[in-house]
Amino acid sequence: MADGQSRRGFDTDDFLLYLDDLQGMRPSELKEALRQVLGGGDVVVNVTRDDSVDWEYSDREPVSFRLSAGQMVVSVSHASDEYDIDEDVATDVFVPVLTPYLQRCRTSVESVAWDPDYTHPTVWNIEISCSTRGRDLADFFKVGEGALALLKAFESGELTRDTTLNLLRSGHGKVLIGQEEGPWLDVKRDHYDLQSPSGKISIAQAVARFANAEHGGIVVVGMRGKKVPGGEIISSICPVPVDGRTLRNYQTALEQHLYPPPDHLDIEMVSVEGGNLVVLHIPPQPEEHKPFLVHGAIVDGKVEGAFISIVRRRGESSIPITAPAVHATLAAGRALLRRGELPKALE
C-alpha cells in the first residue's frame, strides 16, 4: 500500500505492501499493477508489517521485491560485521551457505552486492531469482526470511532445527562446534552397529525420541559430544565412512524396528572437510501418529527382542512414556472406534 491508497494500490513515489497483503497475490498481479503505473522500468517494492501508522513512517522489512525487464527477484538486505568490502569474498561465503536451501525452494542466488549507503554494519544486498509459477508473494517473502535466518545463524551460531539442517547440508557443520545438544539435536561419534540387534534398536530409539517429541529433531552421526556442567556440547567433527549401502542400512533398521514410519524422515549423507556425516532429520510429527513404538528394548545391557519400548526427548536426555499415558492413548482410540466420541473422562 502506498500514499493512503487501497490495500492493492500503488504510488509513483514509493511502493509498499503490507505483509498480510502478500498472501494470495501473484507476481503477475504485481507486475501488471506496476506496468499500468510506470509502463516499465526497474522498481523496488518494499514490505512492512505495521499497518497501524502512516505508510511513510512504517518500518521496511529486510526482504523486498525488485522488478526489472518484467522479471521479479527477491532482494534480501543482510547486515554483517564479519566481512570487509569485497564482493568476491562475500559471494564466495554467502552462496555456498544459501545454495542447498534455495535449491529446495526452487530459487537461486542471482547476485551479491555491497550497499554503499552503509559502512557499519556492512549491508549486503543479495538478490534471489525465483520460479514464479503457482506461487504467491507470501511464498517468496518466506524464502527471503529463511535466507536471512540462515546467514545470521551461520555468523552468530544461534541455531534452530531448520537452520542447523541447512548449515549441515551446505557443508558448514563446523558452525555447530561449541553448540549444546538439546531437545532437537543429538550427535554420535561413530556409526550405529547396524549388524547387531542392539545397534538397530538404538538407532530406532534415537529417531523415536524425536518423533515422539513436540518439535522433531536431528541425529548427526560423525560428531563428538563432550559433557560439560549443565549438559553436553559438540566438541569436534569426526567424519564417518559412507558407502553405497550405508544409508540403506539405516533405512532398513528403522523399517524393521520403528512403527509407524515417521512422515518425511530424511536420511542423507552430507560432506564436510575430511569426509562425510550421516544426518537423520525427523520433522515434527502429527499427534495422531504418536506414540512411535520401537520393536525391541535394551534392558540392563541385554537385548529384549520381544519388548516394545516407547521413548521421547526432553532436553538433552530421553524419558520413557509412562504406562498411564500409553493406556490413555489406547483407551481413547478404542472409544473413538466404538462410539465415535471420547468419554468425558478422557477428554
User: Is residue 2, in this structure, part of any structural domain at all?
Assistant: no
Instruction: Give yes or no: residues 152 and 192 share one domain.
Output: no
Which amino acid is present at 308? I
The least confident of 21-30, 43-52, 63-72, 76-85 is 76-85
Last residue of a domain, one of 156, 189, 204: 156
Q: Are 270 and 219 in contact (CB under 8 A)?
A: no
Tens of pLDDT along 83-121? 565 788 888 889 988 998 898 888 999 999 988 877 677
Instruction: Give yes or no: residues 195 and 330 share one domain.
Output: yes
The least confident of 66-80, 128-142, 218-232, 295-309 is 295-309
Last residue of a domain, one of 125, 156, 187: 156
pLDDT value at 228 more than 70: yes
Instruction: Give yes or no: residues 287 and 187 share one domain.
Output: yes
User: Is residue 168, in this structure, part of any structural domain at all?
Assistant: no
Q: Domains in the chain: how many in total?
A: 2
Instruction: Give yes or no: residues 38 and 146 share one domain.
Output: yes
φ, ψ of residue 69 to 5 degrees: the values are: 50, 40
Please give the pLDDT value at position 138.
Answer: 94
User: Is residue 6, in this structure, part of any structural domain at all?
Assistant: no
d(CA 204, CA 294): 6
Neighbours of 216 (CB within 10 A): 22
Please give the pLDDT value at position 247.
Answer: 97
| C-alpha cell belonging to residue 175 | 558452525
| C-alpha cell belonging to residue 261 | 514410519
d(CA 219, CA 235): 15
Is residue 24 classed as helix, strand or coil in its secondary structure? coil
Instruction: Give yes or no: residues 192 and 148 share one domain.
Output: no
Is residue 124 classed as helix, strand or coil in its secondary structure? strand
Instruction: Give yes or no: residues 112 and 186 share one domain.
Output: no
Tens of pLDDT along 161-214? 999 999 999 888 888 888 888 889 999 999 999 999 999 999 999 999 999 998
Instruction: Give yes or no: residues 42 and 148 share one domain.
Output: yes
User: Is residue 4, in this structure, part of any structural domain at all?
Assistant: no
| Radius of gyration from C-alpha coordinates of the chain | 25
Instruction: Give yes or no: residues 192 and 328 share one domain.
Output: yes
User: Is residue 234, in this structure, part of any structural domain at all?
Assistant: yes
Our separate counts of H helices and E strands in the chain read 7, 17
User: Residue 296: which CATH number?
Assistant: 3.30.950.30
User: Is residue 44, in this structure, part of any structural domain at all?
Assistant: yes
The DSSP secondary structure of 324-337, one letter per residue, reads HHHHHHHHHHHHHH
Instruction: Give yes or no: residues 206 and 310 share one domain.
Output: yes
d(CA 172, CA 270): 10
Q: Are 22 and 137 in contact (CB under 8 A)?
A: yes
Please give the pLDDT value at position 195.
Answer: 94
Instruction: Give yes or no: residues 209 and 105 share one domain.
Output: no
Please give the pLDDT value at position 84.
Answer: 60
d(CA 226, CA 309): 27
Q: Are 138 and 23 in contact (CB under 8 A)?
A: yes
Work out the average pLDDT over 43-47.
90
Q: Are 275 and 173 in contact (CB under 8 A)?
A: no
User: Is residue 265, in this structure, part of any structural domain at all?
Assistant: yes
User: Residue 33: which CATH number?
Assistant: 3.30.1460
Last residue of a domain, one of 123, 156, 189: 156
Using the structure block, give the residue that is written with the C-alpha cell 536451501: 101
Instruction: Give yes or no: residues 95 and 189 share one domain.
Output: no
Instruction: Give yes or no: residues 57 and 148 share one domain.
Output: yes
- Residue 264's domain spans which residues? 179-339
User: Is residue 322, in this structure, part of any structural domain at all?
Assistant: yes
Tens of pLDDT along 274-330? 899 999 999 999 988 988 999 887 777 777 766 777 877 654 444 445 556 666 666
Whether the full predicted model's pTM is greater than 0.85, yes or no, is no
Which amino acid is present at 252? T
Q: How confident is the model at residue 334 (pLDDT cuts 50, 70, 90)?
A: low
